[in-house]
Amino acid sequence: MNKIYLYMFKKYLIGFTLAISVLLSINLLIIFLSELKNIGTNQYDFILLIKYIIFLVPQNILDIFPYALLIGSMIAFGSMSYHSEIIALNSLGIGIKKTILIILLQTFFIAMIVTFAGNWAAPDSAAYAQNIKNTALKKNSMNKEIWFKGKETIINVKRVITDHNLENIEIYYINNGTMSSILTADNARYNTEWNLENIKIIDIENNKIINKKSTIISSDNFIPFQVLKSSFSKKRYHSIQDLYDNIIFFDERGIYYEAHKIAFWQKIFLPFSCCIIVFISIPFLFTKTRSTNQSQRIIYGILFGITYFVLSSILINASLILNIPALASVLISMSIFILCGYFIFNRFVKKHIPI
């Protein structure tokens, strides 16, 4: 029996590897073609473009592997169904129900490994890739200025290169309701603390001007790094740990943070989501042999699986509008599609094939 499970897992891995290789190649090609227009702008050259794409590979794998699991499972087990290997398994006492359970367990195993590895490697790699691009292009992360109010300060940043690199900073110090001094700096760079460079301090109380080359300011006395990172880094670039730390940080300050909580719970439940898309797709392979041809069944299964991500995103956004908590939104979306998968299983498989 173990040989059968290993044979199925081997077929699954081959299908998954083929699917993720094709999807990754297409994704990276699209990124490459879209970035060609930037070649020659400021310091952005071909070597930096290749470096940018290489560092985006882990994040791209993390983004596309659920689709690769879906397509890989349909290819692998569609081939087994076409060659009557599923019927052979049935004759050995492994019914369709048990076969699907084995597929889901294998899906969960692969998804757990990729999710863990991706969460470890992808966020830092993607952030570094974005930093390379923004620094070379001298590109702002946003067109608006940043205004942040601290306990005794009002901070204005006119240009954001990355969440680690800011330009044209002004800090207004307030003492007993009146402005006591103004600090301006050309640059601010973050490395556990903020290092401000080329500083000019206008001391209003003492009527004097002070110039400094640099000074160190803690994150608590400047813009908290969590605020910048959460605002200017894409949510999918954040690791689970970073999202959790940000949630704690914002919850302690009573700041609305449901959108990032959604990202956190989606990453936590990603292996289960992979199982769901396979669960609602794989029954199409086990319909009556003469009901539809093999290619049609595979296409139907893939389309239903992709529909999960589209509709679940709509359901989660609708839940946020209705002020439903992030965890409940994700669980409701998953539960609806589990019920859909159960209906599809009963409708297309259970009525026609022994389970």
Query: Which structure tokens are listed for 80?
Result: 């087994």
pLDDT of residue 328: 85
- Taking the model in full, what pTM does it have? 0.77
pLDDT band (50, 70, 90) for residue 350: low
SS percent in the chain: helix, strand, coil, step 5: 65, 15, 20
pLDDT of residue 111: 93
Over residues 230-262, the pLDDT tens digits come to 666 667 778 888 888 878 877 776 766 777 788
Over residues 123-160, the pLDDT tens digits come to 888 888 887 887 787 765 555 678 887 778 888 888 87
pLDDT band (50, 70, 90) for residue 161: confident
Residue 202 pLDDT more than 60?
A: yes
| C-beta separation of 306 from 245 below 8 A | no
* Four-CA torsion 100, 103, 108, 111, nearest 10 degrees: -130
Residue 110 CA to residue 92 CA, distance in Å, equals: 26
Residue 73 pLDDT more than 60?
A: yes
Over residues 312-348, the pLDDT tens digits come to 878 877 777 777 888 888 888 888 888 888 887 777 6
pLDDT of residue 14: 92
pLDDT of residue 248: 81
The percentage of the chain sitting over the pLDDT mark of 90, rounded to a whole number, equals 15
Residue 117 CA to residue 62 CA, distance in Å, equals: 9
Separation in Å, CA 1 to CA 7, 8, 15: 10, 11, 22
pLDDT band (50, 70, 90) for residue 353: low
Residue 162: beta bridge partners?
Answer: 165
Residue 22 pLDDT more than 90?
A: yes
